[in-house]
């Protein structure tokens, strides 16, 4: 029976969990690991009776899956229950192994009523390839539940709830600061929330609690790095690079973030010169966070458009060198930062 697609597949999955009525096929993907894992856990708890879990829950690693294994799992009836849950993790639906070429469409187009089949994308991206014949079949039969990072408003509400559960309070402004500093991954934030809560002795989370114990994401460190350069503190900028490399961050990845940051500063400067509003700035920066956009805007005001133009050009050249030749990458990054500092000082 075709699945009626909701406005968003993730909301359909959530509604199904509330109602206790389940689609025959779910495809769970997206960049927010915390939510993906949470709703997969909910499916396991709601679909499968714990007493007969060993009989009614079958899980496969996509790499070792064969047509025979999947067919056998789908054909076998549930024990003492109405439903059986089959979970396949990281199987590339849109570029399956050749042995699945004919069998996969056959299996997925005629799932038994007692089966709830889940394709769960953990490491693989799982973006649907709408050009494939299989997608057309899946679009009729499957619920696509894609969990992306929450928008800042939703994430702020979640952070507040997490702190309340730990008998701590936090203001929306400090929540925004925490997201800026620690990133928007709920999995990562959960650990940082616990650290900040343990550090607080007043019952209210302040910025200094977060600064004291929380780990900064690469993007936040790059903010500090750029500020150090424009403040004439080249030694501080190099120390930050050293720390990032010591933390096993790849030099190319570090510089990619630096380049993107400079480009965003430049974009914010142009946006302000053209008297564009917040919506245009958010679109230009490719972010949904007003707090982040304001921080970029404030940082851009401290530098000239000429310096940003030269910096963007120099960083693009360095980025190409780092990706295309056998240079001493750390040395090349330091030389570029020195050039940026010298240009600003000049």
Read off the pLDDT of residues 285-294 as tens digits, 9 standing for 90 and up: 888 888 999 9
Task: Answer yes or no: is pLDDT of 346 > 90.
Answer: no
CA distance 284 to 280: 6
Neighbours of 20 (CB within 10 A): 8
- Which pLDDT value is given to residue 222? 92
Q: Which range, 145-154, 226-235, 335-344, is most confident? A: 145-154
Where does the pLDDT of residue 207 fall: very low under 50, low under 70, confident under 90, or very high at 90 and above? Answer: very high
Which whole number is the average pLDDT over 246-275? 92
- Confidence at residue 43, expressed as pLDDT on a 0 to 100 scale: 96
Cβ atoms of 319 and 259 within 8 Å: the answer is yes
pLDDT band at 36 (very low <50, low <70, confident <90, very high): very high
Burial of 318 (0-12, 13-18, 19+ CB in 10 A): buried
pLDDT cut 70: percent of the chain above it: 97
Which CATH number is correct for 152-213, 2.140.10.10, 2.40.50.140, 3.30.750.24, 1.10.8.60?
Answer: 1.10.8.60
Name the one residue in this structure whose structure tokens are 């966070």.
Answer: 289
Structure tokens at 100: 């699945």
Quote the pLDDT of residue 344.
Answer: 76
Tell me what pLDDT residue 2 has: 41
What ranges do the domains of the chain cover?
9-146, 152-213, 218-345
Strand 115-120, strand 25-29: pairing: parallel
User: Which residues face 85 on adjacent strands?
Assistant: 57, 116
Of residues 335 and 345, more confidence is placed in: 335
Confidence bin at 278 (pLDDT 50/70/90): confident
Q: If pLDDT is split at 50, 70 and 90, which confidence band does 345 have? A: low
When pLDDT is averaged across residues 176-203 and rounded to a whole number, the result is 96
* CATH of 218-345 among 1.10.10.1150, 1.20.272.10, 3.40.109.10, 3.40.50.1860: 1.20.272.10
Judge: domain 9-146, CATH 3.40.50.2000: no
pLDDT, tens digit, 9 for 90 and up, residues 304-326: 999 999 999 999 999 999 988 77
Q: What is the mean pLDDT of residues 321-340?
A: 89
pLDDT for res 1: 38
User: Quick check: 6 pLDDT over 60?
Assistant: no
How many whole angstroms separate alpha carbon 301 and alpha carbon 324? 33
Residue 63 has pLDDT above 90, yes or no: yes
Tell me if residue 170 falls in helix, strand or coil: coil
């Amino acid at each position: 029976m075709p699945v009626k697609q909701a406005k968003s597949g993730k909301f359909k999955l959530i509604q199904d969990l509330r109602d206790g009525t389940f689609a025959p096929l779910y495809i769970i993907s997206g960049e927010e690991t915390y939510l993906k894992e949470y709703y997969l856990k909910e499916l396991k708890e709601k679909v499968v009776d714990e007493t007969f879990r060993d009989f009614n829950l079958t899980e496969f690693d996509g790499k070792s899956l064969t047509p025979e294994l999947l067919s056998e799992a789908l054909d076998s009836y549930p024990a003492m229950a109405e439903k059986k849950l089959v979970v396949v993790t990281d199987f590339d639906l849109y570029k399956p192994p050749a042995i699945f070429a004919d069998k996969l469409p056959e299996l997925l187009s005629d799932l038994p009523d007692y089966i709830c089949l889940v394709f769960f994308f953990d490491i693989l991206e799982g973006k649907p390839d709408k050009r494939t014949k299989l997608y057309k079949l899946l679009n009729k039969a499957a619920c696509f539940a894609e969990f992306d990072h929450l928008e800042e408003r939703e994430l702020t509400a979640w952070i507040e709830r997490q702190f309340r559960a730990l008998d701590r309070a936090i203001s929306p402004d400090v929540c925004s600061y925490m997201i800026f500093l620690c990133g928007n991954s709920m999995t990562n934030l959960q650990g940082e929330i616990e650290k900040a809560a343990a550090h607080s002795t007043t019952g209210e989370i302040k910025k200094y609690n977060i600064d004291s114990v929380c780990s900064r994401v690469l993007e936040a460190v790059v903010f500090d790095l750029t500020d150090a350069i424009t403040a004439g503190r080249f030694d501080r900028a190099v120390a930050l690079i050293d720390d990032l490399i010591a933390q096993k961050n790849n030099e190319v990845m570090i510089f990619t973030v630096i380049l993107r940051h400079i480009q965003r500063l430049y974009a914010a400067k142009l946006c302000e010169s053209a008297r564009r509003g917040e919506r245009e700035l958010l679109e230009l920066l490719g972010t949904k966070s007003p707090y982040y956009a304001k921080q970029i805007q404030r940082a851009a005001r401290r530098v000239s458009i000429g310096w940003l133009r030269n910096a963007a050009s120099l960083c693009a050249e360095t980025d190409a060198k780092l990706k295309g030749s056998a240079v001493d990458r750390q040395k090349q990054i330091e030389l570029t930062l020195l050039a940026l500092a010298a240009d600003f000082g000049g």
